[in-house]
Structure 1
């Protein structure tokens, strides 16, 4: 992929990084304020917030400057808000480097109310008006140590009746209004499309947070409200971000689950025999799954597979526990293998040996990439000033040498990496498709490993889907030795690459028409900031839905994540594990799906004919049976071809009965 090389610089921008760069610079109340006015009137927090939302790195999600509604200091926003309906509010200092705010208010709600809006933390707006259709964006940090804390954001026109109670109208918050604060400070966004003001009323607009769901304590800080009324911005551009098909009751889910039941599971019949070889009724049978048939793999780092630190040891154990297929992330790329990058070849060989010793099928990344230099993260590392004949010969030699060097150590290769993103050799009139054709032939003759294509932007975003389809069509129609189709599966919020589920399904279905295995080779989901609570939530949901769709499609043979630990991940927000090895929300979702929802551990008894029948996910199992003092065990791979599993019982001290403990979830 584009930036997968050791010297890649992580470009992720967070509030903390913005603050470090900006120092004491500050934001203006509006987009036209001068630098001096900005410095005089705003704090670092507001400047960093605006800079983050207007950064060009946000791509399709870049926002205009807007104007601040509640002032440009934390103190001004706190002064604008008050708790209505009872309870207490106390201003507190925020003493942590984890978030960029310094002040907050702690609200103590005395009891639950039938109307949660009875207790409202409200900021009325009396110094400006809004037109129907104006777009606003509210921002707030929240935390709570109360169990099951809950709040709801609202924006609308408000007034008070004679008793002082709030009369609530329509809520103009469009997404993300429901909030469940946790024990750490997290940021929330609330996009607002202003509705019509009630005719003839004196009501004023207000942002408020309803907190009367329970007796609870909630802290609010960093509240800001952007007014985009005079800007060219769409509601879809405002965070938090969403995708169609995310709802738990979405129609596609039932069909996907039915496909999983049909495609990924099979009938399992266990026959238990007594020491005389006769059927044993009433025997207890335990089916304990140890590995999936489906590939849930990951890229691995040579540095950490061969390293000796405590983190290296955790890295290896975590990989073995969670994944059953591998790809060496950088060590087999030509710039690494030929010494341009600081990756030792002996360490790469040791990495392959370590994986093979543990029966981990390992992919080779890559044989052909139509890039002369290594500037894009890979390439062929060849001199472009050579003649076409020299270039073709050198690349042929590289492909043959690489394929031969690692024959028997890799299960398959990315034969043609990035064929759409980079077509430099095919665009050369003296090389063209003729050279690519010969390179495929060289690879086919040099290795028995499978030959795959590999490209981004088809099932991870879709900006290159049609081109990739046309390319695969050409290979198939011209009888190239293609064994599988790879999709990188990188998803970035700033590039709007979280697909609607219908588009995702359509993509898999389209490429399944070729009758070739489909493999997601480099899966990850990059979000803007792990302090954005709603981004973290959508990341977990998108992982759930992407894996569910992939697992439900018969043509798909696996999903390989492009790393799993934040300290060794090219897009750290996408890693399943944080730097301290704590499991993130989408990592929890990954484990829940792979080792709980899609995992079979069953116990039952044999019938009168000595048979226990059930249905389970295809994969490897340890099957144990016992009755009284008799016991037996076997290991088996269960798939559609498995007719039955036989376990022979033996008396104590005889046979090879192994441990009844649960096997490793991964393949080790």
Structure 2
């Protein structure tokens, strides 16, 4: 469905017909029932149907804080022998299989059934990328009555793939999009109110009972604010078609609208179905005129028809400003926090919220597809962080089957759009559990897991087993006990790992020494756990097993130290230490001693975001500030840390984020220490504090083949350092290719 672009001028205008059918879902029905019950008990409301609890978002928290609070839970794996004794040092791995949250798309039933063969991209991507589906057209009244077989075949195919199905839609009062049966169009023209009432009530009962609990929830009436031809057939001139908000009968608060919802609730109750009741409309985000109307519609249905389970926000986002089509401040370009604030308007009316038809259309007015990807990320992060939201469904995902040929994820030739990396990077990476470790002395391993379905694999010295567990409780602990024979694989391991080799000094300053070494393997069964870095024989720090560099800080200038590195396995066995002599530099006088035009030492007062040394490291997705960091879509995946630098290999693709989540107003400059062969500052975008543009637009500093200090004056660049949700972002969809090394990001 297309959003109305006007304010209080012409609310009867609606957009073109939806050319696509269906939607996809990630969770099985029985799983979602468990999620619904647990979510309600945890104060989250039902995940899909009946008894849903409204919940607004606490905007004092950051996006990531809300995600951690509402979308993750504690998972405890307890390992026991068949005799009930616990097993310490057993190896545990946790791999997520499904999200509890619904990530979906609209699907074209006719294409799925008649125009797509097994193995086609369309059939392959739907279950791969989504866990929820909705038919774009074939559950609409006329389509369904004329071709029920296609609707049923598509619905069954999607259910067989493990997707959940929303019902869209029982009734839609638009006459120009083939959604209303021919006899009802005649009844509208003749003002035959009795036929319209009887046929519509019968259809609501027929379609809901036909699918039963195969459908999670139904949009009973679609776009009552904007499309009300059915009601015109009943009320006639009592509805003012020029100013419907001023008529004797207002379509979105009419008795007939309430009666349709009362009928749906009665049918569901009579047949004892666990099926939700939904309302759905557009323009809630960019236009204020919908606020009071949609809220009054929701309250009217709740009071006079049926208690709603779902408030649907379509979220078709166009790059324009109202009726003036200005590109100066397009309506879709709001940040994730603004998305949350808008959703709060609808999240306090006794029902859960779903984003039902997201896309970024009206293409000529967008600056780029990268901009659309950024907007997609904002809406995704905002919706996923909101405790009152249960679903994010896009209205088609491929340009070859989209009502405006402007789907979010794929061009017509199936090449990936920038938003594809946003979608997969969030849904299946950043918000996806993939963890491992060993049980402690109690035989338990505990981690934080995203709500959903997981596989837990446990290995001992003699056996391995895998079990499934559903994490549904965001406020408590989900415990699964796994019974497996044997002892922990580390229990009898007395062999230390090998001694680290090729230990060398990488860099020195007047107060730090950075060393690197070759990674080692464990000689026993426990597995490598960490490295111990020592100074003069005394432990200075520990480094995770995946790291092979460390920086020792707080040293005296012009002094010589013995730096040692030993390897430790999970059983506590420690190798001998490899050692190297290191001498710190003379005290830094701020001069350009090396003659390269820069002072490469990090100022003592600087705020280091990430120096890609030590622990936490890039691989742990936490930077030196303890905040989330990540990257994706590069030629080398999410980047690799080598010799104290993050290496990003790009070829017209790639995204990178370092989150700060703090005010940096006391600093005036953003400093990037970069290196690269033939890397230009106009080959990637910098996005920080509301400023977004090519790096070359913010600084004249060049990127050399060795470490180069690139400084951005924040005031000149228009960076707002005061926001609490601040992050440093780079994206590489600018047509260039190369290898960029990031040695440090800091504010000074």
User: Aligning the two structures, in what range does the TM-score lie when normalised by the shorter sequence?
Assistant: 0.5 to 0.7
* 1:169-191 Cα deviation digits (max 9, x unpaired): xxxxxxxxxxxxxxxxxxxxxxx
1:614 match? 447
Q: Which residue does the alignment assign to 1:348?
A: 151
User: Alpha-carbon deviation of 1:470?
Assistant: 1.8
* Cα pair 1:527 1:535 within 8 Å, conserved: no
Q: 1:444 to 1:522 in 2, by over 3 A?
A: same
1:451 to 252, 277, 298: 277
1:650 deviates by 4.1
1:264–1:561 Cα change, 3 Å: same
Using structure 2 for the length normalisation, give the TM-score: 0.51
SS at match of 1:350: helix
Aligned counterpart, 1:438: 259
Gaps of at least 5 residues in structure 2 are 3-14, 21-58, 239-248, 322-329, 488-748
> Compared with structure 1, are the counterparts of its residues 463 and 497 closer, same or farther at alpha carbon in structure 2 (3 Å cutoff)?
farther
TM-score (norm: length of structure 1): 0.56
Q: Structure 1 pair 258/451, CA: closer, same or farther in 2 (3 Å)?
A: same
Offset of residue 541 of structure 1: 0.8
The alignment status of 1:300 with 2:107, answered yes or no, reads yes
The alpha carbon displacement at 1:377 in A equals 5.7
Structure 1 equivalent of residue 71 of structure 2:
264
Q: Which residue of 2 aligns with 1:410?
A: 215
Supply the distance in 2 between the matched residues of 1:302 and 1:458 (Cα, whole angstroms): 28
Could you tell me which residue of structure 2 aligns to residue 55 of structure 1?
none
SS of equivalent residue, structure 1 residue 644: strand
Q: Which of 316, 320, 325 is equivalent to 2:132?
A: 325
Q: Any idea what the Cα deviations from partners look like across 1:30-72, whole Å, max 9, x if unmatched?
A: xxxxxxxxxxxxxxxxxxxxxxxxxxxxxxxxxxxxxxxxxxx
Distance apart, 1:254 and its partner CA: 6.8
Distance 1:354 1:642 in 2: 35
| 1:572 partner SS | coil
Match of 1:370 among 173, 176, 186: 173
| 2:331 alignment partner, one of 485, 491, 497 | 497
1:505–1:549 Cα contact (<8 Å) kept: yes
- State the SS of the aligned residue for 2:459: strand
Gaps of 5+ in 1: 9-251, 653-668
**Separation (CA, whole Å) in 1 of partners of 2:413 and 2:287:** 31
Residue equivalent to 1:337: 144
Distance 1:497 1:297 in 2: 23
Deviates more, 1:421-430 or 1:386-395: 421-430
1:474 aligns with 2:300: yes
For residues 298-328 of structure 1, give each alpha carbon's deviation from its aligned partner in whole angstroms, at most 9, with x where no partner exists: 1111133224645862212111111011101
Q: Do 2:169 and 2:221's aligned partners in 1 also have CA atoms closer than 8 Å?
A: yes
Could you tell me which residue of structure 1 aligns to residue 371 of structure 2? 538
Distance 2:65 2:75 in 1: 18
Q: 1:628 — aligned with what?
A: 461
The question of 1:423 aligning with 2:204 is answered: no
Instruction: Check conservation: 1:417, 1:454, Cα contact below 8 A.
Output: yes
More RCO (CA 8 Å, sep 6+): 1
Q: What secondary structure sits across from 2:317 in the alignment?
A: strand
Q: Could you say which residue in structure 1 is the equivalent of 2:554?
A: none
How far, CA to CA, are the matches of 1:312 and 1:358 in structure 2? 13
Match of 1:576 among 398, 409, 422: 409
How far apart, in 1, do the equivalents of 2:342 and 2:266 lie? 32
1:416-444 deviation per Cα after TM superposition (whole angstroms, max 9, x unaligned): 20011123455654796232232222212
Match of 2:357 in 1: 522
CA contact (8 A) 1:461 1:491 kept: no
SS in 1 for 2:85: coil
Distance in 1 of aligned mates of 2:404 and 2:372: 13
User: Which residue of 1 is the match for residue 341 of structure 2?
Assistant: 506
Q: CA deviation at 1:7?
A: 6.7
Return closer, same or farther for 1:370/1:561 CA change in 2, 3 Å cut-off. Answer: same
C-alpha change, 1:281 and 1:253, in structure 2 (3 Å) is: same
Instruction: For residue 64 of structure 2, give the secondary structure of its aligned residue in structure 1.
Output: helix
Name 2:481's counterpart in structure 1: 646
* Number of aligned residues: 402
Cα gap change, 1:637/1:420 in structure 2, threshold over 3 Å: closer, same or farther?
same
